[in-house]
Amino acid sequence: MNAKVWLVGAGPGDPELLTLKAVRALNQADVVLIDDLVNPAVLSHCPAARIIPVGKRGGCRSTPQAFIHRLMLRYARQGKCVARLKGGDPCIFGRGGEEAQWLQERGVEVELVNGITAGLAGATQCGIPLTLRGISRGVTLVTAHTQDDSTLNWQALAQGGTTLVVYMGVAKLDEIQAQLLAGGMAAATPVAMIENASLPQQRECRSNLLQMRADALAFKLQSPAILVIGEVAAGVDAALQSQVATG
Ligand code: SAH
């Protein structure tokens, strides 16, 4: 029996942002391991599957990653079709790469299925184009949260001229703000903070680099949220006007 695990991106929350391939994988799955950030509404595509919550709230606090690895392996070796469903895209801050490698090393076939990552969805839901001709030539996805306390090269990010999309940043707003200002990014740089992107409870807080922390506090910004930092975060009209003003 060929063991197989699908590592599937569930997208940012809106069930309509699921890919057709994700739907097919869910349809075929006997067992679905689901992360916290996945909207349970997508489980309508796998009514017969056994659903196992494995997020932090799913009861596997100690060594969760090792536990999840073993669970996937066990079901795959039983010949079950396993779908591991992750919020957004499995390979954007989702450990998809690690899980795929671990399983492949043990002879399990892995198929990765893209999902729409929260950073892209959040920006689009707020009318923010992450690239804009003449204004933003690129996008950099970063996480403010690291396990080993290593730091990003904030100066390079501040001066790189790309739109920054920050994941897991809510608890690190002060550090992000301080580092980007110290790195030379203009205090007036627009910032959009988008909570629960693509879900009915989505909220967005528009600010700038100087005010972002105070504005987020007043707004009571909660995780999950993404930050979009750069001229485009003010929207197309404002970004184009600022280009005219400075250009
Ligand atoms: N693999 C996921 C990211 C997981 S890391 C993806 O591709 O989207 C978890 C972080 O993702 C959260 O802290 C938050 O920054 C972001 N996130 C996930 N879902 C979100 C949503 N619906 N709205 C805003 N941010 C979200």
- Reply yes or no on whether the pLDDT at 58 is more than 50: no
CB 167 within 8 A of CB 93: yes
Q: Report the CATH fold assignment for 4-113.
A: Cobalt-precorrin-4 Transmethylase; domain 1 (3.40.1010)
What's the pLDDT tens digit per position in 208-225? 999 999 999 999 999 999
Is it true that 4-113 and 118-246 share their CATH fold? no
* Cβ atoms of 38 and 15 closer than 8 Å: no
Q: Determine the length of the chain.
A: 247
Find out whether the beta carbon of 197 lies less than 6 Å from any atom of ligand 1: yes
Domain boundaries, the chain: 4-113, 118-246
The correct answer on CATH 3.40.50.360 for the domain covering 118-246 is: no
Q: Helix, strand, or coil here: 81?
A: strand
Mean model confidence pLDDT for the chain: 93
**CA–centroid distance, residue 211 to ligand 1 (Å):** 23
29-51 mean pLDDT: 95
- Centre of ligand 1 to C-alpha 140, Å, is 15
Q: Rounded to the nearest whole angstrom, what is the distance from the C-alpha of residue 247 to the centroid of ligand 1?
A: 35
| pLDDT at 62 (0 to 100) | 47
State the catalytic residues: 35, 56, 168
Q: What is the pLDDT of residue 145?
A: 77
225 lines ligand 1 (CB under 6 A): yes
Q: In the predicted model, is pLDDT for residue 57 greater than 80?
A: no
Taking residues 168-184, what's their average pLDDT?
A: 96
Tokens describing residue 219: 């707004």
CB 11 less than 6 A from any atom of ligand 1: no
User: Which whole number is the average pLDDT over 1-18?
Assistant: 91
Residue 244 scores a pLDDT above 80: no
